[in-house]
Structure 1
Amino acid sequence: MTKNHMKTHCSILDSICLPDSKLPRIVIIGGGFGGLALVEKLKNKDVQVVLLDKNNFHQFQPLFYQVATSALEPDSIAFPFRKQISGYKNVSFRLANVVEIQPSSNTLITDKGSLTYDSLVLATGTETNFFGLENVERNCLGMKDIRDSLNIRHMMLQNLEQATITCNNEDRDALTNFVIVGGGPAGVEMAGSLAEFCKYILPKDYPEYPASLMHIYLVEASNELLGTMSKNASLKTLKYLKKLGVKVLLNESVIDYNGKVVQTKSGNTLLARNLIWTAGVKGHFPRGIDKEHITNGNRLKTDAYLKVEGYNNIYAIGDIASLISKDTPKGHPQVAQVAIQQGKHLAMTLMNLINKKPLTPFKYKDKGSLATVGKRRAVADLGNFKFAGYLAWLLWSIVHLMSISGFRNKLMVGFNWAVSYFTYEKSNRLIIRNFKPNLNIDESTEAISKKDLIPK
């Protein structure tokens, strides 16, 4: 970079400093799969790219559940943005949380200052959707951030330790019971990993009580698991989970939770100090977009070129975008492959706009779906090929390992998986910090008799 390019415009006190450039400025909010795919395709092009994110690292969300269950450390699935963009001469990263978009002036307001854009790309992803269940939101844990995964880990280990101390049978039951809400890939994979923890780790670490004391419930509101995958995948997954000892409750939903007692829509109750919510997500983006351009799931309506409806230079990709058409009446599925393909396509679109070349609409190419249910068990839908078992698990492992950012991270995860494959060992069972749940237990629930609870 030349000395001229190193000059910055920092004269305005509340402006975010950026390298001087006469090139069109593309600002990307969010460094998830879509945002990074876009950055990668725009590197060293004749545009100034600014990546904004509230974290300074990319998170590999598909493996959050392995951090939560002590199989991996968080630094194995996180990669610094600055290392990612090292050598990209036209890309700058700024650690900032964008709070407002001002489309009329092409300005962003962040917690660190303001900046302007020529084109804006929203790749902010989603947050956990508790569907208005305030008590559930207050007392359970979601799994949308690497910090959530660490909270789940510490909650689990602390509760298991507390169970060895208490002499009250009901308290011990609650401390060792786990309820996972949501039968999608995240919920299924979390349930499978917890079941293996119960089967292989608990007897060695906690001889004070039998492994049979720990019960895992997976609650799904519909009549099948993995609703976005094939019937074959759903049935195989149900079979695998039952074999691992997971109690699957279909056509059931959670309506309340006070930190100890789970209330379901059918009137059942479950004792559990551990509730993990994977039942839904909603779009998350800064204020400033007119409500008329927001659709179901708090997603942004886009045209075929990924431009947000009602705006000339604002685009959306990934989970936040909803491209509604005859083929996708509810928008594209909120999965990593969609975000990656949209990021790559939008890079081409933006460069074609700048160079006054024809545009092509976005077309998603479904490469299939994978989900794992513990070790050596997985399901795969690859076009007309639908299979399950060891081969599907091997494919799942290869795809996920290759998708992780950074050679060191690939090496760390691969090594951990190799050790776990032969030993079932999870060596990261450390309570590094004290997790303090925000419990709101109504004293009246303490009197619920065991006959009112779902039998184990």
Structure 2
Amino acid sequence: MKQNQMLNGIDDHTCKVTETICLPNSRLPRVVIVGGGFAGLALVEGLKNKDVQVVLIDRNNFHQFQPLFYQVATSGLEPDSIVFPFRKQIKGYKNVSFRLAEVKEIQASTNTVITDKGKLTYDYLVLATGTKTNFFGMEEVERNSLGMKDIRDSLNIRHMMLQNLEQAAITCDDEERDALTNFVIVGGGPAGVEMAGALAEFCKYILPKDYPEYPSSIMNIYLVEAMDELLMAMSDKASSKTLTYLENLNVKVLLKESVSNYDGTVVQTKSGKTILAKNLIWTAGVKGDFPKGIDERHVVKGNRLKTDTYLKVDGQENIYAIGDIAALISEETPKGHPQVARAAIQQGKYLACTLMGIINDKPIGLFSYKDKGSLATVGKRKAVADLGKLKFAGYFAWLLWSVVHLLSISGFRNKLLVGFNWAVSYFSYEKSNRVIIRNFKLNTTGKTQTKDNSENHLEKDVNTKKSSIDV
């Protein structure tokens, strides 16, 4: 047995499932990357086929293209169009291994990570675990609403929306019908804006055809933003244009307003307003999501890990952080770099060069972020763009947004599927994925959702973390 394992390049000692995660035997320095988002995959790409052993760990076996979650949620795309298996991604990378596991704890003193499947050691550890939805301590809001940080969240939103619309056609109670057809989106960043625009187009073009039982005007969409403008990270022009687009789509935008409570039927705001709604989508904030083992002294606002200019976590010798979880605090970036795909990819590429420089004892430079601009869409033919001093909106901004997103999706098949769906939608406003595969119900006693076994039919394609990408 041992001889066969050694012939396959596997050390017998690492094959004790209850103790250590089995890995190919290698004398090269081992880099363990936790998280396969934009940052983690960019690092993998930079280290592929180099003189280093790379181990990618993720709780999912696929990469998720987060900028298009809202299209899955509103029936525009199927989930398998925007997810891509890690093993297919790393096919041909001789020095890269993937392991499906969730890291629970880091033991820096012994260079060990503890997962739900076992443990493994590292020479260099990179945390690229991203963020999760931040409900700011409002437990009742968290129990009764849905975030949008995972492909499963998008599917839950879709099924909640379709089930509620069907129930609204059944009920004879006017108040219940209003609650079932009202949608509240909390957060006026790219994710909230794009979700509101997509829902508004669903209401305008799909609802009259599918639900002749009641007028499309019955579906009200509210976008709640605590600040005095939308898209705070973009220019004033982009913000005002976005507001105009949404209002033209009959979205009720509530600025300088914030949600204080939500019991599943009534949304309460701090100013005393109440909105009757059984659909609340939370995009108002995120916080870092990383395993135990990092001293709280090195955690900054937003639950992010403070790093130096080499992206090394403060207080650690061989632990690095990249992507949304990392906060490089400096005079130029007092709040850290923006939590967007562009910054994550740049950090991943930089760290690949840095680690190889350290291993080969070569000089390394400091990380320098290059802001190439931002894009956000509000619906078909409507988008805003900030490209340095060039700021514009409308059809060409939407066309640029579409091209950038399409080119950024992993896999030729996925690009083809998304491109085809967009082409059909462009000419017909059709959304062909309006099917209820499973029964969805919020489990208000906890954070998870209950569903029946029929969901497996849909989720088999995906094998079961700002909804915008920047140029």
Answer whether contact 1:156 1:274 (CA < 8 A) is retained: yes
Within 5 A, what are the aligned runs for 1:410-421? 410-421=415-426
Distance in 2 (CA, whole Å) between partners of 1:94 and 1:11 is 13
| Counterpart secondary structure, 1:436 | strand
Distance in 1 (CA, whole Å) between partners of 2:314 and 2:146 is 34
| Counterpart secondary structure, 1:18 | coil
Answer whether contact 2:102 2:116 (CA < 8 A) is retained: yes
Answer whether contact 1:258 1:439 (CA < 8 A) is retained: no
Count of aligned residue pairs for this structure pair: 439
Within 5 A, what are the aligned runs for 1:20-419? 20-419=25-424
**Letter matched to residue 53 of structure 2:** Q
Q: Percent identity?
A: 77
Q: What TM-score does the superposition give when structure 1 sets the normalisation length?
A: 0.95
| Counterpart secondary structure, 1:142 | coil
Distance in 1 (CA, whole Å) between partners of 2:282 and 2:15 is 46
Extract unaligned runs of 5+ from structure 1.
441-456
Residue 6 (structure 1) shift: 2.6
**Letter matched to residue 8 of structure 1:** D
Distance in 1 (CA, whole Å) between partners of 2:328 and 2:124 is 19
Residue 11 (structure 1) shift: 4.7
Residue 437 (structure 1) shift: 1.6
2:441 aligned residue: 436
**Letter matched to residue 11 of structure 2:** T
Cα-to-partner distance string for 1:391-438 (whole Å, 9 max, x where unaligned): 000000000000000000000000000000000000000100100123
Answer whether contact 1:34 1:340 (CA < 8 A) is retained: yes
Extract unaligned runs of 5+ from structure 2.
446-471
Answer whether contact 2:15 2:21 (CA < 8 A) is retained: no
Cα-to-partner distance string for 1:294-339 (whole Å, 9 max, x where unaligned): 0000000000000000000000000000000111000000000000
| Counterpart secondary structure, 1:238 | helix
1:6 lines up with 2:9 in the alignment: yes
Which portions of structure 1, spanning 4 or more consecutive aligned residues, are displaced by more than 6 angstroms?
none
Residue 369 (structure 1) shift: 0.2
Answer whether contact 2:227 2:255 (CA < 8 A) is retained: yes
Distance in 2 (CA, whole Å) between partners of 1:435 and 1:194 is 19
Distance in 1 (CA, whole Å) between partners of 2:8 and 2:367 is 34
**Letter matched to residue 180 of structure 1:** I
Q: What TM-score does the superposition give when structure 2 sets the normalisation length?
A: 0.92
RMSD: 1.1
Distance in 2 (CA, whole Å) between partners of 1:365 and 1:149 is 31
1:452 aligned residue: none
1:18 aligned residue: 23
Residue 7 (structure 1) shift: 2.2
Distance in 2 (CA, whole Å) between partners of 1:423 and 1:437 is 33
**Letter matched to residue 168 of structure 1:** D
Distance in 1 (CA, whole Å) between partners of 2:196 and 2:35 is 29
